[in-house]
A and B are shown apart, each in its own frame.
Chain A
Amino acid sequence: MITLDGVSKSYRTANGYRVILDDVSILLPTDRHIGVLGRNGAGKSTLLRMISGEEEPDTGKITRRARVSWPLGFTGGFHPALTARENLRFISRIYNSDIEEVTAFVDDFAELGDYFDMPISTLSSGMRARLAFGLSLAMRFDFYLIDEIVSVGDYWFRAKAQAEFDRIRNESGMLLVSHSPATIRKFCDTGLVLRNGRLVMFDALEDAIDFYLDDD
């Protein structure tokens, strides 16, 4: 369960403050597949980073009672001078995961070959993305945060990634951010709409999509 309690967040821009969340209190069940709908610039990615713990709210509190992932698709969490293997060791340690099991899984999944023992700075962006995706699967999070579904790598990797993604989806909850109702329909069972600093939860997904599309 993730609790947002009186959470506010805004950014200072050239034209004054832009409000992302305005005193929002809500419970997010971590065993559901929650789709977050919102216009471009509504603050969906910021919301995701706040739920992951990467960013703090201006006021209010966010409590996580589950293993929550970093935003998937994010590949910046590696030390550029260390090898992929060394980075995996570090991240396994801080998340209290078994280093050998994580290393074995990601080595097999990401197919980096010799680059597994090369500094991250020498890896192509595709390699980094495969590494990050494999690692987030290996971490076995209770709740996955996904900022738009992006396909990674070549065709074969996509097929494999799809299979693993489906497996994770069956046993973990997730929160998926998208501006596309079609994507949300495909992957989610609960809808959340972010609009004008408010976050509204709908048990029926179609109600959320209607509410989102109704914004004019």
Chain B
Amino acid sequence: MRLPMRPDHQPRPLVSRGVSAPSLLSELLQGLAVQRRVIVAIILREVRTRFGQYHLGYLWAVLVPLLLIMTLAFVYAALGRRAAHGASVELLLLSGMMAWLTFIDTQNQASRAYQTNRQLVVYPMVSVVDIVIARALLEFGTKLAAMSVLTALFWAAGYDVGIADPLGVAAAMLTVIYLGAMFGHTIGCVLVIVPSFLFIVATSRRILFYTSGVLFLLSDVPTEWRTYVLYNPLAHVIDMIRGAWIDSYSAPYGDVVYVAGWAVGLTATAAVGELVARRRRLGANQ
């Protein structure tokens, strides 16, 4: 029985104090290296726990949206609804549903980052923020892959789902992930302090869904109602995704500045929430 070698690197000092500028920089770089290592380790672990535990594994990432889209497409066909701007109903639903699921899954994963990983608090280099970042990155990869597979499936089935601007779609998806992660982390922090906040979250999710434009194009909404729908930042981002996806649609309602405002605001609430919740989380563990 041989003991393993000691690793070369020291762990990141959790607090630095009274150090000169150059070593502060090197400590910062070392800290970033540790954080990258931790995030990679969490991603690899989450890959096993997110879908790996279930039968069919990562196939669910494709099957869940496919089932939802097919059901809605069936209802739309029964009602005789068609999409405008030369896009098919399937494309409308595919783009909207993937954006919504990406948002809501990321939000869910982020808000439960602490709750489902309490055992990690013993390792001082792991923070809840690292778990949120790892989960958001994994969600981004999973959803982009699922979106590609679904697009290929619909294309193979004869639907016109070609993506005009793939980079634009990916950028909008990244925005959705960011909003979801910040919103989710804010919720997770509030839940540490006020558990009954859960009921407000569940209600707000439904309102967000019905006003997000997953089920309709914003141009189909009467002007007086559209003003209200456009308070929902997701409605803007989903419009942007469709604008990038559909060649003939120019996304007239996607306001980048409005979405950026939400991103900044949610980043601030997540940061404040983290500061307040940090002590409570640790205190609750004794």
Contact = CB atoms under 8 A, between A and B. Distances in A.
Contacts of B124: 52-54, 64, 68
A66 B119 CA distance: 22
B13 A78 contact: no
Secondary structure at the A interface, as helix, strand, loop or mixed, is mixed
Interface in A57-105: 58, 61-68, 70-71, 74, 76-82, 86, 89-91, 93-98, 101-102, 104-105
Interface stretch (B4-12, B82-90, B168-176, B243-251): B4-12
A12 to B, nearest CB: 9
Contacts of A61: 15, 17
A94 B121 CA distance: 13
B122 A77 contact: yes
Given A53-B14, A64-B14, A86-B48, A105 B126 contact: no
Contacts, number: 117
B2 A49 contact: no
A98 B8 CA distance: 11
A102 B5 CA distance: 9
Nearest to A108: B1
A138 B3 contact: yes
Contacts of B279: 56, 58
A159 to B, nearest CB: 13
B123 A96 contact: no
Interface residues of B, number: 42
Which interface class (under 10, 10 to 19, 20 to 34, 35 or more) fits A? 35 or more
23 contacts: A11-B286, A49-B286, A54-B122, A55-B282, A55-B283, A55-B286, A65-B10, A66-B10, A77-B119, A79-B119, A82-B48, A86-B48, A89-B44, A90-B44, A91-B123, A94-B123, A96-B7, A96-B9, A96-B37, A98-B7, A101-B2, A102-B4, A138-B3
The 3 A-B residue pairs with the shortest CB-CB distance in the complex, in nearest-first order: A53-B124, A101-B4, A93-B41
Interface of B: 1-11, 13-17, 34, 37-38, 40-42, 44-45, 48-49, 53, 117, 119-126, 278-279, 282-283, 285-286
